[in-house]
Amino acid sequence: MKASGSKAGESPSQLIDARIEALGDWRGAMLGRLRALIRQADPEVVEEWKWRGVPVWSHDGIICTGETYKSVVKMTFAKGAALADPSGLFNASLEGSTRRAIDFREGDKIDETALKALIRAAVSLNTSKARR
């Protein structure tokens, strides 16, 4: 896995580590689990730190972001509207023509198989457009 977009001498991966640790609650645990699933789905993923503190995972373009809010951890897929979602994971930002998101709340179970398939589909979409 590569890293890009370092800030203040720390790599994006270190900044994401720090965010997970600083949250210190279920949101940190959830963000950490989502990050692990992203890495499993795409070992070549690039971790970035953008927009004043948003973890971003890319492969030939943005795959998704991992935002944390008071009551949700939001995983936003940059080109989610173009992805098939046979398991119905997308539950937020459904009205947009480009992005789609999954809001995870405290206690939510992750359908790991479906999520990894969605991540791989996003990577495939990015890599197919990068080859053109």
Residue 91's nearest CA partner among 74, 66, 112, 69 is 74
The CATH architecture that domain 2-126 belongs to is Alpha-Beta Complex (3.90)
- Rounded to 5 degrees, what angle do the CA atoms 45, 51, 55 make? 35
User: What is the mean predicted confidence (pLDDT) over 59-64?
Assistant: 97
Residue 111 is encoded by which pair of tokens?
A: 């359908």
- Each domain of the chain, given as residue ranges in start order, spans 2-126
Angle at 44 between CA 41 and CA 127, to 5 degrees: 85
**pLDDT of 72 above 90:** yes
Q: What is the pTM of this model?
A: 0.90
Which residues, at least 6 apart from 40, have a Cβ–Cβ distance to it below 8 Å? 116
SS3 120: helix
| Selected residue with higher pLDDT from 4 and 44 | 44
